[in-house]
Structure 1
Amino acid sequence: MCSDIQDYYRNKTVFVTGGTGFMGIVLIEKLLRATEVKRIYLMVRPKAGKSIEERLTNFCQNVVFEKLRNTGVTLTDRLHTILGDCQTSNLGISAEDRKVLIAEVNVVFHLAATVRFDEPLQKAVSINVRATLDLLELAKEMRNLEAFVHVSSAFANCVVHSIDEKYYVHKLGIGAVKMCELAESLSVETTNKLASVLCASYKNTYTFTKSLAEEAVLSVGRSLPISIFRPAIVIQTYKEPLTGWVGNFYGPSAALYACARGVLRVMQMKSQHKAHLVPADSCASLMLAIGWETARSDQRQRLNLAPPIYNYAHDDENPLIWKQYMSAITELGSELPISKMIWFPFMITVSKKWLYDILTFFYHIIPGFIIDLLLTLKGKKKRMMKLYRSIHKLTGVMEYFIVTEFTFTMDNTKSLWNSLSTRDKDIFNFDIRSINWKEYIQFSLTGMRIYLGREGPETIPRARLLYKRFKILHQLLQAVGIGLLISLVWILVRKVFS
């Protein structure tokens, strides 16, 4: 059986920005393993004192590429670095490298972005908007360009709660080009102060600038063979190339890990709302399918239609709800506990902010203060209150997107899926309706132990013993607390009626 997508990518040259990030790594691995792509140019900047050559060496040693390495493949035969930086004018790409890209590139995947919700506006505009505009202009010079996939976010347009596969540029109040001109004409401090006005309805600089980048694609890039991919919250891989692989402490995966360690005990959320979480490997498959579809659809360019958008989230056919995701710790915690836990893992979810603040004080602040006090008495460095500040910052930026109910239409994504051959559906499976969520969550917990906790199977017996001990202590503490509360109520009642 033939694969149309594999046939398309055979002998193609691909340029990837943001390839060293979590989703970028999964995309590149899939490209190298599932297609006979000729060459991948990966834009990399020097970081932490390491050159781009050193970073490429470290990149190729990632556990994600283990399956490829075991087949005898030398990654650097098809993977080459391009020195570049999204915070630099014209992406910081040299004239020589630009010539190479202009002459050779067939497909562009633009994943580079700052995903920090609290990024200063000046920096967020530079990375998420100006870099996109610069890349679009570079793409216009590429003589053999066939497809450009711009990676946005399902929540880029969070000013509306029912999000269709269309543009919401009228909500911005300013275009991408004008915003960049404004940022360049003002000081960094003045631009950052504008965030409270420009980003108010978008909740943070990330969603605002990602929406601006979509406007850039529409206004500046519509002459290109280009599409927009809007994934929801990207978390652990489902099945490829490893089950449950995650590359960083961020978002729901970090919250789940903090809960498993017995540190995070309270979260504000509407537990019956859909958890718009999508596996990284499904996203990689969908991106490759979008690139193929974009290259073969020339009607849009002839008719000067807006670049198509592909939402990727949940609908009613196979939903995952927040309660189902966060309760995994209590349901599967005894099977896959973490040996680094500091208390029995449990999770209380509440929808009211005032109740969340009260419970946080009793379940986070007081225990954190007590532990820090004990550490100080032992002559050790305090850490719990600092940890809780980080956790509360993380959950705070997630709060709006967990408490608010969002719905997404996915007509283009479903149509693309239906257009695939049986073979392509097997190799590039992004059908979210086919995910067994219980299985996926179990994979996620296993991956969380291995890749975030750095704990192998050999730690499970000790972790299970620790889990049982903490459970007994937790139940005793609950019993004491309930007893004290009953005693307090009884004393008050006696005083009132005596």
Structure 2
Amino acid sequence: MVWNYYDGKILFVTGGTGFVGTTVIYRLLSKATPKHIYVLCRGGYERAKVKWSDMLPAAEAKTLIQSNCMTILDGELGDTATMDLSDEDLQILKRKVHVIIHAASSIALKNSLRELDYTVIAPTTCLVQYALKFANLEKFVVLSTAYANAHLWTTSKSTDVAVEERIYSLGSKDENPIETAPDVWKQLQKEGTTDEYESHDFPWPYAYAKQLAERLALNKAALKDASDKILIIRPSVIGPADQFPYHGFTTSYSTPSTACAAAYALHPGRKINLATRCENPEKEATIDEVPVDVVADRLLVHVALGSSGCVHAVSGTKGRLRLEDWWAAFKKERRWPWNVKPVWISEDWHSSNLHHVAKNLKIIGTSFAFSEEKTDLIAEKLDDRNLKIYADRSQPYHNSLVHRRHHIHNLAREMAKKSRLPACSAGILLRKGKPPVHLDKKVAVK
């Protein structure tokens, strides 16, 4: 039922050589028979070939690189809809494309709003506005983040904050956040910030940028009476794949918990300062890490079944991790003769007293109960047991770290250099593991 939808369809994918985009395209080519997939990639085919060959084993890379139904378009996103493409390519997209998956985005959490306007907000808004002119457009998918509403942690008294699959207003109760989005964007472009951003406590500018991009996409669609064509997928903290393209699929820079594991293993002290308001944070605080293949399948399933609006791609209350389990897994990767004890302080997530792990991943010490209602409803209709729309938590979380030890080592080496630790620190202080087979034994893909 799901894969039949894509038979004969023409898709356009931005960010197709990234972590999520690669997983989505691999899944499409492995399970469905789309008529054609156009992929936007700066550097064109040769650049895409290099990236996929670096990320994937030879067999999986060939599935993408040698596909006869895929064209790599040399272009990039910016503050215009043309994407540096030729008029001929633009007209092909405009005439033929049925589904757009906009997975390209900056992941620089701390960049200024002005920078994020250029890398996140403007590209999304301009592309949506242009795509709504496509003759055969059925669905435009925006990859956002579940933490677009992380400011709710600071406005709620609960230690487990419920987040629904909807747009939240940052103004008065009577304000329509979709209607006000264009005026808010104008203020951002003029002043480099907005009143609503300054009056709310987001963990990073990135979270607010995604929130505003969601609203602008829905605003542009509403003006064309096409709100049903917009699907916003909100992943939580993205983690390695459970199953495909292969078990443990990740890259060194794509999964935040990999960086956290590296930083924890290198920390020479006995304590790490973290912020929370939970009374018993190790049991109450949670980390919602979702496998990248769950994100891919939720996206593809919801497109096929005609969903619109906001959809969470998360592990949810059924699959999220308690913080104590997260830390316990990190401890096993550490080779210091002593462990690191979290010291919980009653300060906000911007405090200078926090360890740099918490300064980057500011949601440590929080807990969000992301709704999965839309996925739960469609799961009852699905007859394909091979769909991966829920995380598998049948194995200890530490197994996930074992499969990415190579990437943890890579990040630890970089961190050691920046902190002026000896170059050999990562090799001495972290558990050793074999690199993925495609990194250990290169196979040329022709």
Shorter-chain-normalised TM-score: which range? 0.7 to 0.9
Tell me the amino acid that sits aligned with residue 230 of structure 1.
R
Residues 169 and 212 in structure 1, CA contact (< 8 A), matched pair in contact too: no
Q: Counterparts of 1:34 and 1:113 in 2: how far apart (Å)?
A: 26
Residues 241 and 248 in structure 2, CA contact (< 8 A), matched pair in contact too: yes
Deviation at 1:267, TM superposition (A): 5.1
The equivalent residue for 1:103 is 95
Asked if residue 44 in structure 1 is aligned to residue 41 in structure 2, the reply is: yes
The equivalent residue for 1:271 is 282
- 1:173-212 mapped onto 2 (5 Å cutoff): 175-184=180-189, 186=190, 190-191=191-192, 198=198, 200-212=200-212
Tell me the amino acid that sits aligned with residue 286 of structure 1.
R
- Which of 105, 120, 134 aligns to 1:142? It is 134
Q: Counterparts of 1:122 and 1:53 in 2: how far apart (Å)?
A: 31
Residues 39 and 79 in structure 1, CA contact (< 8 A), matched pair in contact too: yes
Q: 1:191 to 1:308 in 2, by over 3 A?
A: closer
- Which of 80, 93, 106 aligns to 1:89? It is 80
Deviation at 1:74, TM superposition (A): 4.5
Deviation at 1:69, TM superposition (A): 4.6
Asked if residue 231 in structure 1 is aligned to residue 231 in structure 2, the reply is: no
- Which of 350, 354, 366 aligns to 1:404? It is 366
The equivalent residue for 1:13 is 10
Asked if residue 122 in structure 1 is aligned to residue 126 in structure 2, the reply is: no
Residues 159 and 171 in structure 1, CA contact (< 8 A), matched pair in contact too: no
- 1:256-405 mapped onto 2 (5 Å cutoff): 256-261=261-266, 266=272, 268=274, 270-272=281-283, 273-294=285-306, 307-330=308-331, 332-333=332-333, 343-344=336-337, 346-352=339-345, 392-399=355-362, 401-405=363-367
Deviation at 1:235, TM superposition (A): 1.4
Q: 1:199 to 1:327 in 2, by over 3 A?
A: farther
Q: 1:81 to 1:74 in 2, by over 3 A?
A: closer
Q: Counterparts of 1:133 and 1:467 in 2: how far apart (Å)?
A: 46
Q: 1:468 to 1:350 in 2, by over 3 A?
A: closer
Equivalenced residues, count = 393
Deviation at 1:204, TM superposition (A): 2.2
Query: 1:176-205: CA deviations, max 9, x gaps?
Result: 322443344x3xxx416x699537422321
Q: 1:90 to 1:468 in 2, by over 3 A?
A: closer
Deviation at 1:88, TM superposition (A): 3.5
Task: Could you tell me which runs of 5 or more consecutive residues in structure 2 were left unpaired when the two chains were aligned.
Answer: 153-160, 276-280, 412-424, 432-446
TM score, norm. by length of structure 2: 0.77
Query: 1:389-437: CA deviations, max 9, x gaps?
Result: xx954530322x122222222111111222211x2x31x21123x4325
Tell me the amino acid that sits aligned with residue 436 of structure 1.
S
Deviation at 1:231, TM superposition (A): 1.3
Residues 76 and 83 in structure 2, CA contact (< 8 A), matched pair in contact too: yes
Tell me the amino acid that sits aligned with residue 412 of structure 1.
K
Residues 44 and 75 in structure 2, CA contact (< 8 A), matched pair in contact too: no
Residues 9 and 35 in structure 1, CA contact (< 8 A), matched pair in contact too: yes
Q: 1:276 to 1:61 in 2, by over 3 A?
A: same
Tell me the amino acid that sits aligned with residue 70 of structure 2.
L
Query: 1:234-266: CA deviations, max 9, x gaps?
Result: 111122222222213352220112223455862
Task: Could you tell me which runs of 5 or more consecutive residues in structure 1 were left unpaired when the two chains were aligned.
Answer: 46-50, 298-306, 362-390, 456-462, 470-498
Percent identical among aligned pairs is: 21
Residues 236 and 253 in structure 1, CA contact (< 8 A), matched pair in contact too: no
Residues 251 and 394 in structure 1, CA contact (< 8 A), matched pair in contact too: no
Give the match's secondary structure for 1:80. Answer: strand
Give the match's secondary structure for 2:147. Answer: coil
Q: 1:97 to 1:112 in 2, by over 3 A?
A: same
- 1:208-219 mapped onto 2 (5 Å cutoff): 208-219=208-219
The equivalent residue for 1:385 is none
- Which of 398, 402, 413 aligns to 1:446? It is 402
Give the match's secondary structure for 1:419. Answer: coil
The equivalent residue for 1:251 is 256
Q: 1:205 to 1:262 in 2, by over 3 A?
A: closer
Deviation at 1:448, TM superposition (A): 1.9
The equivalent residue for 1:419 is 381
Give the match's secondary structure for 2:135. Answer: coil
Residues 53 and 61 in structure 2, CA contact (< 8 A), matched pair in contact too: no
Residues 90 and 131 in structure 1, CA contact (< 8 A), matched pair in contact too: yes
Deviation at 1:353, TM superposition (A): 5.2
Q: Counterparts of 1:233 and 1:309 in 2: how far apart (Å)?
A: 17
Asked if residue 23 in structure 1 is aligned to residue 20 in structure 2, the reply is: yes
